[in-house]
Amino acid sequence: MDILVCVKRVPDTAENEIGIKADGTDIERGDLVYSVNEWDNYAVEEAIQIRDKVGGSVTVITVGDEESEEILRREMAMGADNGILLSDEAFEGTDGKGIASILKAAVEKGNYDLILTGAQADDGAGQVGGMLAAMLDRPYASLVNYIELVDDKKIKIGREIEGGNQEMNEIDLPCVLSIQTGINEPRYVGIRGIRKVASLEIPTYASSDLGIATNTVGAGSAKVKRIDYFVPELGEGAEMLEGTLDEKINRLIEMLKAKGGLK
């Protein structure tokens, strides 16, 4: 089974204090540490496990600048077989639909049985996987946290739905799935694995290689534009509890009783 996994380079929230530019146009990016999007990492791990069971290959792909190559190599060190970088100045400022259209053009240059994306990336929209599936006219499921191979034409999937419930479905191949965190435990990537893939060639495709008209992507063609970043004002009445854990618990119980939350 040949699997394509869409990944993205994003600010690492565990390593950064995220600040907003004074003019509200973006976050401060100058000194940020970047890594692969968390949801995408689970998707890559799932693809590797499927390949190890049934054979085939795993290709990781990203839309970004030349610095995005580092996350492709990181996922190849994890176990992916190939990487593809889609990079062009014309892609800058592209919205979710534009990203999906760029990925669609790349998908059509290959022959993939299964396409995986993370459930969402750093903007939280969770839209690229569904848009890509619609453009390719392939079956789609989101928030997938279980995959079982039925045969070479179908897979069984589990989806996380409201209330902590699980929904089970069968879906035809080829298809597109957006993977939820928790479906597996992504493996550790050591320095030896990173060195092993450091010299491997990663092809880069620009708009001309993909047959994409530059006026159909980028900020100029975006239907969704981000107009402001801001930090919400703090509300009144918040109280920070101090002390040991037991002291905080006791204080919280007292407050709930005083307000009628507990009897």
Do 24 and 229 contact (CB within 8 A), yes or no? yes
Cα distance between residue 193 and residue 203, in whole Å: 20
- Give the model's confidence band at 31: pLDDT under 50 very low, under 70 low, under 90 confident, else very high: confident
The region of weakest confidence among 68-72, 95-99, 118-122 is 118-122
The region of weakest confidence among 72-76, 140-144, 189-193 is 189-193
Cα distance between residue 33 and residue 185, in whole Å: 23
Residue 122 burial (CB < 10 Å; 0-12/13-18/19+)? middle
Statement: residue 13 has pLDDT above 80: no
Per the model's pLDDT, the better-predicted residue between 106 and 228 turns out to be 106
For the chain, give the percent of residues with pLDDT over 70. 99
Please, what are the domains in the chain?
Answer: 2-221 (3.40.50.620)
> What is the structure's pLDDT at 241?
86
Closest CA to 89 of 212, 225, 201, 227: 212
Cα distance between residue 92 and residue 70, in whole Å: 18
Do 7 and 37 contact (CB within 8 A), yes or no? yes
Cα distance between residue 262 and residue 260, in whole Å: 5
Per the model's pLDDT, the better-predicted residue between 27 and 187 turns out to be 187
Do 92 and 219 contact (CB within 8 A), yes or no? yes
- Give the model's confidence band at 122: pLDDT under 50 very low, under 70 low, under 90 confident, else very high: low
Q: Which two tokens stand for residue 61?
A: 């792909």
